[in-house]
Amino acid sequence: MWKWLHPYAKPEKSYNLAGKMLPWFALFSAISLTIGMVWGFVFAPADYQQGDSFRIIYLHVPAASLSMGAYLSMAIAAFIGLVWQLKMADMAVAAIAPIGAVFTAIALFTGAVWGKPMWGAWWVWDARLTSELILLFLYLGVIAIYGAFSDKLLAGRAAGILALVGVINLPVIHYSVEWWNTLHQKATISKFDKPSMDTDMLWPLLINLLGFGLLFGTLTLMRFRNELITRESHRPWVKKLFIEDK
């Protein structure tokens, strides 16, 4: 497998591979988000307790789970970058951090506008909300540290260490609703139990989860390609791409 993987460690190969995958990720993300959102917002039945306000779940849950999934993939990239000193892993960290920050901001914002009509409060300082807010600060920290060094090798290392330390926050977010008393409801979909949701509501949620995941992939590929051509702008392969011979 390593022999097969090896050529992709070349920036040029990665750039081309990312470019080939990009339109498919974009296409399937657009398709699944369209289906999922129309199904969720128009066709899914209203909740017997929360009425139509529950439809916020179709934005809130995918954004929140992807905010954690993005962090995990960023941390794995950071680990690879620190241990094997692979430059492209650092670029992946830099590419993912802003996307993760946006997903986290969406999770927090949609949570607040869902909390106001249901709990009567935009914000409570309980474990789930606070740990998700810390996740946002971790993302912002990684972005700030990466931007603070003009030496990008150093920047990647420093940002990578913060990304790895921050992994401790992930289980805290995930189990916060079980470890502490909170207004936040328990997990709707769990690996071990039957989902606590009717299938008419569950299907659009799963499709939206897939759509957000593919959107995350699309944006990551786009930003990763940006990072690659910025860092390699002096290399012949980049020049060959954008400068036509006279």
Partner 1 sequence: MQFDSFSAFLAMGGYGFYVWLAVAFSLLSLGSLTVATIVKRRQIIDEIKNKHQRIERMRAAEKMENTL
Question: What DSSP string runs through 167-214?
Answer: GGHHHHHHHHHHHS--SSPPPSS-SSSPPSS-HHHHHHHHHHHHHHHH
Q: Considering the complex, state which of residue 59 and residue 205 has its C-beta at the smaller distance from partner 1.
A: 59
CB of 51 to partner 1, least distance (A): 4
CB of 45 to partner 1, least distance (A): 6
Render the burial of 77-104: b for 16+ CB within 10 Å, e for the rest: bbbbbbeeeebbbbbbbbbbbbbbbbbb
CB of 59 to partner 1, least distance (A): 5
State whether residue 229 is helix, strand or coil.
helix
Query: How does DSSP classify residue 109?
Result: H
Q: Considering the complex, state which of residue 80 and residue 105 has its C-beta at the smaller distance from partner 1.
A: 105
The residue ranges that bind partner 1 (CB under 8 A) are 41-46, 51-53, 55-56, 59-60, 63, 98-99, 102, 105-106, 109-110, 113-114, 116-117, 215, 219, 222-223, 225-226, 229-230, 233, 238-239, 242-243
Q: Considering the complex, state which of residue 193 and residue 245 has its C-beta at the smaller distance from partner 1.
A: 245
Q: Considering the complex, state which of residue 87 and residue 157 has its C-beta at the smaller distance from partner 1.
A: 87
Q: Considering the complex, state which of residue 66 and residue 82 has its C-beta at the smaller distance from partner 1.
A: 66
Query: How does DSSP classify residue 85?
Result: -
Burial of 160 (0-12, 13-18, 19+ CB in 10 A): buried
Among candidate residues 57, 73, 79, 17, the one with its CA nearest the CA of residue 225 = 17
Burial of 172 (0-12, 13-18, 19+ CB in 10 A): middle
Q: Considering the complex, state which of residue 82 and residue 90 has its C-beta at the smaller distance from partner 1.
A: 90
User: Which residues, at least 6 apart from 34, have a Cβ–Cβ distance to it below 8 Å?
Assistant: none
CB of 40 to partner 1, least distance (A): 10
State whether residue 51 is helix, strand or coil.
strand
**What spatial distance separates the first Cα and last Cα of the chain, rounded to whole Å?**
42
CB of 140 to partner 1, least distance (A): 14
CB of 153 to partner 1, least distance (A): 19
Q: Considering the complex, state which of residue 52 and residue 178 has its C-beta at the smaller distance from partner 1.
A: 52
CB of 192 to partner 1, least distance (A): 29
Q: The tokens of 132 are what?
A: 């998700």
